[in-house]
């Protein structure tokens, strides 16, 4: 183990084109020792190498599917061996496939719950005891405004899974608050990246910035990364158990 004065952040699904990798980059710029985990092995290593070249210090890449309970435990053990513990956890892994309820394949339902909800549980289950040993920490779970919406555009499985993430956040915060650990969630609206074109129909994006957003644009992964960084920091020391919407006014909540 190498000791480091920096805080250690563990980010899931951190090597894609969207929110996860923006959070990794933001935390790297904030001097965290970042552990980049992602189901995509090559991109995971490539991002760690890019950050190493940029900041001239080590970043740990761990290929990881969050649905693998034992795999998550192994990953957390690797991080403890690397830097002695975890100070910040970001559960960003999510998956969805749009199907109406009455046509939904059982596989779609199970996979969505497995990645979005069980994956978040798996990481909390293995990281929180490490944070307790360390004497504190902070968690951000990425939920979605789909948890609050009444529209059909995200599908029941995704909405139910993300609502589960919000409830999990609230109760986890109550359970571990006495250990100096805060647990919050973020519920983004549309945060554009090109991969979304494969998931949502074209109509979903048409006029979104002009008609639905109240700030004249769609969201950027960096918008969510900035809020994540704040919630993880000591400046958010009085905030726990909350889910913060970030949707450009599409679905204000509270
Ligand atoms: N993009 C949006 O509009 C939006 C809106 C609300 C919520 N969210 C949530 O934000 C998070 C990030 O979404 P994004 O769209 O920015 O994509 P992203 O690019 O951050 O995530 C894609 C990455 O997730 C990885 N991944 C997929 N399944 C995985 C698994 N089982 N284990 C580990 N890694 C896995 C992929 O390999 C890929 O690298 C998700 O939880 C998503 O549900 C996104």
Confidence band of 70 (pLDDT split at 50, 70, 90): very high
| 104-145 per-position pLDDT tens digit | 999 999 999 999 999 999 999 999 999 999 999 999 999 999
| 177-220 per-position pLDDT tens digit | 999 999 999 999 999 999 898 888 888 888 888 989 999 999 99
Confidence band of 150 (pLDDT split at 50, 70, 90): confident
Q: Angle, to 10 degrees, between the axis of helix 119-134 and the axis of helix 156-176?
A: 20
pLDDT number for residue 198: 87
Residue nearest to atom 7 of ligand 1 (CA): 144
Average pLDDT over residues 81-94: 98
Query: For ligand 1, which residues put their CB under 6 angstroms from it?
Result: 12-13, 15-20, 38-40, 43, 64-67, 92-95, 115, 119, 142, 144, 188, 190-191, 193, 196, 221
- The secondary element (H helix, E strand) that includes residue 116 is none
Q: What is the mean pLDDT of the chain?
A: 96
- pTM as predicted: 0.98
Smallest CA-to-CA distance from 82 within 38, 125, 33 is with: 33
In the chain, the domains with their CATH numbers are 8-246 (3.40.50.720)
String of DSSP letters for 159-213: HHHHHHHHHHHHHHHHHHGGGTEEEEEEEES-B--GGGGGTS-HHHHTTIIIII-
Q: Angle, to 10 degrees, between the axis of helix 41-55 and the axis of helix 19-29?
A: 20
Ligand 1 centroid–CA 38 distance in Å is: 10
Q: Which residues contact 238 (CB under 8 A, 6 or more apart)?
A: none
């Amino acid at each position: 183990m190498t000791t480091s004065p920096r805080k250690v952040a563990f980010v899931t699904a951190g090597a894609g084109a969207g929110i996860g990798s923006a959070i990794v980059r933001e935390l790297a710029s904030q001097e965290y020792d970042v552990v980049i985990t992602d189901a995509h092995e090559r991109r995971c290593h490539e991002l760690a190498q890019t950050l190493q070249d940029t900041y001239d210090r080590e970043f740990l890449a761990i290929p990881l599917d969050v649905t693998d309970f034992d795999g998550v435990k192994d990953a957390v053990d690797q991080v403890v061996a690397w830097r002695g513990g975890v100070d910040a956890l970001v559960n960003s892994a999510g998956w969805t496939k749009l199907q109406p309820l009455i046509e939904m394949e059982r596989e779609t339902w199970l996979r969505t719950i497995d990645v979005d909800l069980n994956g978040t549980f798996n990481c909390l289950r293995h990281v929180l005891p490490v944070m307790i040993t360390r004497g504190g920490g902070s968690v951000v779970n990425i939920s979605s405004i789909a948890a609050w919406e009444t529209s059909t555009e995200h599908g029941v499985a995704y909405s139910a899974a993300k609502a589960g993430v919000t409830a999990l956040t609230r109760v986890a915060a109550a359970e571990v608050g006495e250990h100096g650990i805060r647990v919050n969630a973020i519920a983004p609206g549309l945060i554009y990246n090109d991969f979304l074109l494969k998931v949502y129909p074209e109509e979903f994006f048409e006029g979104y910035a002009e008609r639905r957003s109240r700030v004249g644009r769609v969201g950027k992964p960096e918008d969510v990364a900035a809020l994540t960084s704040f919630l993880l920091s000591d400046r958010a020391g009085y905030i726990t158990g909350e889910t913060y919407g970030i949707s450009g006014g599409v679905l204000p909540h509270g």
